[in-house]
C-alpha cells in the first residue's frame, strides 16, 4: 500500500498530514484501500523503493494520522 504522493520519507508524510494536506492511498493490483480504519503503507515508490514504513489511520479515504 502506498500514498498517492510519492513521499521520500516517513517524516515528510507526517509533516504533510500535520499541515492539513489531503493524503490518500492506493494499492496497485489489490483494489481500493479501506476508507476508514488502520492501514500500513510503505515508500517511496521509486527510485529506491521501500525505505520507510508507517501505520496510518484513514478517515473518509484520507490519512488523518501517522505512527
Structure confidence by residue, pLDDT tens digits, 27-66: 888 777 889 999 999 999 988 899 999 999 999 999 999 9
Pull the grid cell for residue 37. 480504519
Instruction: State the pTM of this model.
Output: 0.90
The domain segmentation of the chain, as residue ranges, is 2-66
What phi, psi does 8 have (nearest 5°)? -80, -20
* Burial (CB count <10 Å: 0-12, 13-18, 19+), residue 1: middle
13: region left, alpha or beta (phi > 0 left; psi from -120 to 50 alpha): alpha
Give the model's pLDDT for residue 5: 96
Pull the grid cell for residue 28. 496497485
Residue 22 and residue 30 in contact, taking contact as beta carbons nearer than 8 Å: no
Amino acid at each position: 500500500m502506498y500514498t498517492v504522493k510519492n513521499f521520500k520519507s516517513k517524516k515528510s508524510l507526517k509533516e504533510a498530514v500535520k499541515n492539513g494536506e489531503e493524503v490518500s492511498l492506493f494499492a496497485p493490483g489489490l483494489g481500493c484501500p479501506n476508507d476508514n480504519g488502520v492501514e500500513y503503507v510503505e515508500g517511496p515508490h521509486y527510485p529506491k523503493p521501500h525505505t520507510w514504513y508507517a501505520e496510518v489511520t484513514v478517515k473518509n479515504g484520507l490519512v488523518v494520522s501517522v505512527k
